[in-house]
Copies of this chain bind each other. A is one copy, B any other.
Amino acid sequence: MRIDGVKNPRTLTVSELKSMGVTTVASVLQCSGNGRAFFPHGASGTPWSVGAAGCVMWTGVPLKDVVDALGGPADGTRYITGTGGESIPDGLDPKSIMVERSVPSRALDTALLAWEMNDTPLPHTHGGPLRLVIPGYYGVNNVKYVKHVAFTENQTDAKIQASGYRVREVGKPGSPDQPSMWEMNVKSWVNAPLEAGRSGRNMIYGVAFGGTVALEKVDVSVDGGKTWKQARFLGPDLGPYAWRPFVMAADLSSGEHRIVSRATDVDGNTQPEGRIDNERGYGHNGWSDHGVSVTVS
């Protein structure tokens, strides 16, 4: 892979990268459109509810270690721009289809070039041999088969950056002046029970994460948000970019219950009740839509 926009640009092999440093970071990988299914306007794209997310243990070299060895970012650069290794079919405008994403230079504190996921060599389907991982950022920024990383003054003009993954009003086209899908927001959802419960004590399970900010707490309501009780985190804390399973015991009577969860991060950000309508159904973290209706018998 090639590194540009540094004092001493050069090409490096994965083998060379492996001797330059190593870190292991757990981070949620989530599609910008996770939750899109809840938007009433039928936002175009895969209609994800909660399935477009996972928590991955990434191992690779901190990008900062590599960049420091190459003299640091060039003066005036404000973005880290990663380019995927996909070959572009003849006859297509490369800019219209290439996977090239820019993220703010502040991501240099945590970015890595990963060659393993969950302690096994990174498979090609997940971006192997090398993937640019930006912990806490939406999936699209984690460029697969990365072949080029550049520190740049401006964001790339590739379509996926310039007009894609931009938050705008319903009906509007995408453009570079709109917010880009970078840091993920605080979010949670219930995993169990999903449909049926038994009268009496039920254990309510879910997951929560804070994007780039560590979690403070998760509250759970079994009456659709009228009353809340703090849940308990379950298992080891894998760090600020990971999700945390949570659990809360609740005594449920027969009938219908609306179970919802609401996470809060250590900066005090908390999930809103509703959704913010936007053309592509990005970044939905409203707690109401993410609840589940459970029939207890």
Chain A interface residues toward B at CB < 8 A:
18-19, 21-26, 57, 59, 200-203, 234-239, 242, 245, 247, 249
**In the complex, which residues of chain B have a beta carbon less than 8 angstroms from the beta carbon of A26?**
235-236
**Within the assembled complex, what's the spacing in Å between the Cα atoms of A242 and B237?**
13
**In the complex, which residues of chain B have a beta carbon less than 8 angstroms from the beta carbon of A245?**
24
**In the complex, which residues of chain B have a beta carbon less than 8 angstroms from the beta carbon of A203?**
18-19, 22
Query: Which chain B residue shows the least CB distance to A239?
Result: B236
Query: Which chain B residue shows the least CB distance to A235?
Result: B24
**In the complex, which residues of chain B have a beta carbon less than 8 angstroms from the beta carbon of A24?**
234-236, 245
Tell which of A19, A235, A242 has the most Cβ of chain B within 10 Å.
A235
Query: Which chain B residue shows the least CB distance to A242?
Result: B236
Taking a contact as CB atoms under 8 Å apart, the answer to whether B57 and A235 are in contact is yes
**In the complex, which residues of chain B have a beta carbon less than 8 angstroms from the beta carbon of A23?**
234-235
Taking a contact as CB atoms under 8 Å apart, the answer to whether B22 and A200 are in contact is no
Identify 11 residue pairs between A and B in the complex whose beta-carbon atoms are under 8 Å apart, listed by A's number.
A19-B203, A21-B249, A22-B203, A22-B234, A22-B247, A23-B234, A24-B235, A25-B235, A59-B234, A236-B237, A236-B238
Per a CB cutoff under 8 Å, which of B18, B25, B202, B242 touches A19? B202
**In the complex, which residues of chain B have a beta carbon less than 8 angstroms from the beta carbon of A249?**
19, 21
**In the complex, which residues of chain B have a beta carbon less than 8 angstroms from the beta carbon of A21?**
249
Taking a contact as CB atoms under 8 Å apart, the answer to whether B200 and A19 are in contact is yes
Per a CB cutoff under 8 Å, which of B201, B235, B242 touches A59? B235
